[in-house]
Chain A
Amino acid sequence: MSDSATFDEMWGHGETPRAPYTAIEGWFSQEDPGRLRRKAREAEALFRLTGITFNVYGDKAAGERLIPFDIVPRVISGREWDRLSRGIEQRVRAINAFLHDIYHRQEILRAGRVPVEAIARNAAFLPEMIGVDPPGGVYTHIVGTDLVRTDEDEFYVLEDNARTPSGVSYMLENRETMLAMFPELFMKTRVRQVSSYPAMLHRSLCASAPGHANGKPVVAVLTPGSFNSAYYEHSFLADKMGVELVEGHDLRVVDGRLAMRTTQGYQPIDVLYRRVDDDWIDPLNFNPDSALGVPGIMDVYRAGGLTLANAPGTGIADDKAIYSYMPEIVEFYTGEKAILKNVPTWRCAEKEALAYVLDNLSELVVKEVHGSGGYGMLIGPAASKKELSAFRDKLKARPGNYIAQPTLSLSTVPIFTRAGLAPRHVDLRPFVLVSPEGVTITPGGLTRVALKKGSLVVNSSQGGGTKDTWVLEE
């Protein structure tokens, strides 16, 4: 059922299903494949009707697309999850402490644990945030930690996504779809619920409001607009939280507060969950061409009149150049060893590292330091000679732009195909909420799955799909 090198989450390295998957495997082997195919089509129609679509950048003719959904759930045991969530919480707390430090006393630089150049010459470091105290002391209200698994007990953090992580609506809708299609599954197996995420998000945002909100903060979600690839998610979250979904042109600074234009005039907002990147949020303070943001919003923020979630400048914590220092960062602020592993990383800016990377390019994954979404990245083992040589030139020209990592043997989970179950590589993005009240992690998260056999690219913009993710009650 699986080749012995790759860890399959259903079959392990062997012939019998692993304990968390026994119920699913039993159910699947009894089911009529024809019925399952019908169900899979129903699921697609359901997604289309609900409007869970995304727009592909630079592809106007394609219009709205669905992210393919696979009906075989990905299962994580309660024990596995508890360990993972301890590791995630530790990491997220460290990130917040790091952000506070880096925009204040910079102890970690003085201690020499992170080199000054890694910060000083980094575009993700926002000088405008120096000395600013976000309400409640929280920088990253929402984090989506990308994890991969390589074996029974081997989990790695791939990325920390501390800016504006997306995908949580898929986590929620995937579960709703599974509940609607296969209720019988949930009667056999107790799965930890995820549906309270929007309520917890709202609570978490309210708890992070500035003091003047007096326990009754007005929250809004800021979207770049209905043409944005993640617009569905923005409207979904606003709808589920029962708050307004605003765009830049609905907002204005009025009497030192951020305010939205309502049918009865401008009304102040206390907490803005913004899904617009730092660069675009304030044309007066950042990119002057931005029509997506609000002139002067940073001034309101710096004066303490508003909570921005996430805070501006959090990108320095999930920057790929900083990533390699995360074990030190976790230890520095928590006094503990990091529970979750970091992928060994070569910083190409360093001479020896670059030499190693150039010599071993065909075995490595090379990432652009500021890239996202799988663009501008090289997967050595899958690349042609021509691609390798082109990338080698790029590396030599601007080594500081790249990091390299070994190709991890990502775990697989079966997907449902015409030929039956077939293993495909997956990753996992759990969603983490941070407020002055504490850290909350929704059990599970979004499982992204590469639909092509052997492919390691799970990004939806590159043809990846998603699965419902179960954490078992135990």
Chain B
Amino acid sequence: MTTLGKTAGGLYWMFRYLERSENTARMVEVGQRIALTRSSDDDEWASVLQAAGTYDGYRAKHDELRRDLAIDWMLRDADNPSSVLSVVTTARDNARVVRTALTREVWEAVNEAYITLKQAMARRIGDRELQDVLRLVRQRAAFVRGATHGTMLRNDVYDFCRLGMFTERADCTARILDVKYFVLLPASSAVGSRLDDIQWETILRSVSGIGAYRMRFGQQLRPREIAEFLIHDRTMPRSLAFCARKLRENLDYLAEDYGARMHSHEVVADMNDKKLAQPIDAIFQSGLHEFLVDFQGCIASLSSQVEIDYRFYR
């Protein structure tokens, strides 16, 4: 069994981009929800753009911060490499390059996602269509995931898909937490105010975790529990601990298949056994922001180490 380095890289990035399309759509949804439930305050879009990692790009293009511009930027602007339309296009370009490693079902799901979304986003999206378009993005990503889960062999090819997906997801959750970390800081002044409740809810909605949180911790939203939930909870599929564990598992499968452990395995071990082993109180003590910056750095080095170890480019 052989897999080209280029193919492994293409799969990894294809799934990173697909994951990103869904994450970005969810953030637009959260931003829109805030706009609808609060007195109109376009400042909130700054943090939405930051959480999506595209604030600087937006600022370079637009002078004013406006809801409709932000939505357009995040969903369909070709100048934004992380807009939903851009990442779906890039995911599909990658899929074309690695076509021979995909099943027909997965390829068609990606290709159809591209065809459908390109059409749905051909023009600026009005408020009335926004929900439908966002639903379409989530649905299309789910189709690809379903086809992947249902038809791909569980071999190294699958491992690279999963590595891409969980790397992107961990990065996204860490970024959301980081952008909102000041909300979670146990500062006494704002606690209990209406503003905070909405802000906390925003965090959970950004990761589709509001329902799960309530099941786990009840109606009361508390910063410590939210942080615990999104950092440590091993049942929450978007938590850092969950993603880190999946990254380790998939790297272990690769080690088993190839009969070799690489430097990537050390990086992922450090992520799981050191970074995430700190209890939540200790994390708050030494600074949530510092922890998250450190964690994001760890994800970045894992990403570049995987690229080197498995010969994506050289």
Contacts and interface: CB of A to CB of B under 8 A. Distances in A.
A260 B4 contact: yes
Contact of A49 (B93, B96, B111, B314): B111
B97 to A, nearest CB: 5
Nearest to A249: B6
Contact of B100 (A48, A51, A239, A264): A239
A263 B115 contact: no
B107 interface: yes
A138 interface: no
Contact of B96 (A231, A246, A263): A231
A117 B128 CA distance: 73
Contacts of A250: 4-6
B3 A263 contact: yes
Interface string A251-286: 000000000111111010000000000000000000
A226 B96 contact: yes
A262 B3 CA distance: 5
B99 A265 contact: no
Interface in A41-61: 48-51
Contacts of B97: 226
Interface string B44-86: 0000000000000000000000000000000000000000000
Given A49-B115, A226-B93, A244-B4, A261 B99 contact: no
A88 interface: no
B225 interface: no
Contacts of A247: 6
Nearest to B156: A263
Contacts of B8: 263
Interface string A210-235: 00000000000000001000010001
Nearest to B92: A51
Interface in A278-318: none
A178 interface: no
Contact of A267 (B2, B112, B310, B314): B2
A245 interface: yes
Nearest to B2: A262
A262 B108 contact: no
Interface in A21-58: 48-51
Contacts of B7: 244
Nearest to B9: A263
B159 to A, nearest CB: 10
A44 B223 CA distance: 54
Interface string B89-130: 000010011011000000110011001000000000000000
Given A49-B108, A244-B4, A250-B4, A239 B99 contact: yes
A238 interface: yes
Contacts of A264: 2, 258, 260, 311
Contact of A245 (B100, B108, B111): B100
A51 B107 contact: yes
Contact of B310 (A231, A239, A244, A263): A263
Given A226-B93, A262-B311, A263-B311, A246 B4 contact: yes
Nearest to A64: B96
Interface residues of A, number: 22
Nearest to B157: A263
Which of A245, A265, A267 neighbours the largest number of chain B CB atoms within 10 Å of its CB? Answer: A245
A231 B93 CA distance: 12
A57 to B, nearest CB: 18
B305 to A, nearest CB: 14
Contacts of B100: 235, 238-239, 244-245
Given A263-B311, A264-B258, A50 B108 contact: yes
Nearest to A236: B99
Nearest to A48: B115
B111 A261 contact: no
Which of A244, A260, A263, A265 neighbours the largest number of chain B CB atoms within 10 Å of its CB? Answer: A263
Nearest to B95: A51
B140 to A, nearest CB: 13
Contact of B311 (A226, A235, A238, A265): A265
Interface in B136-164: 156
A260 B6 CA distance: 10
A49 B112 contact: yes
Contacts of B107: 51
Nearest to B115: A48
Nearest to B6: A250
B96 A261 contact: no
Nearest to A45: B115
Nearest to B103: A239
A427 B112 CA distance: 33
B99 A263 contact: no
Interface string A327-359: 000000000000000000000000000000000
A259 B7 CA distance: 15
A49 B110 CA distance: 9
A263 B5 contact: yes
Nearest to A247: B6
Contacts of B108: 49-50
Contacts of B5: 250, 261-263
B96 A51 contact: yes
Nearest to A243: B100
Given A263-B156, A265-B311, A235 B96 contact: yes
Given A51-B107, A244-B100, A261 B311 contact: yes
Contacts of B99: 51, 235, 239, 245
Contact of A244 (B2, B115, B314): B2
Given A50-B108, A261-B6, 10 more contacts: A50-B111, A51-B96, A226-B96, A244-B100, A260-B2, A261-B311, A262-B3, A262-B4, A263-B156, A264-B2
Interface of B: 2-8, 93, 96-97, 99-100, 107-108, 111-112, 115, 156, 258, 260, 310-311, 314
30 contacts: A49-B111, A49-B112, A49-B115, A50-B111, A51-B107, A231-B96, A235-B96, A235-B99, A235-B100, A238-B100, A239-B99, A244-B4, A244-B7, A245-B99, A246-B4, A249-B6, A250-B4, A261-B4, A261-B5, A261-B6, A262-B5, A262-B311, A263-B2, A263-B5, A263-B8, A263-B258, A263-B311, A264-B2, A264-B258, A264-B260
- The list of the 9 closest CB pairs from A to B, nearest first, reads A235-B99, A263-B310, A239-B100, A262-B2, A261-B5, A238-B100, A263-B8, A245-B100, A263-B3
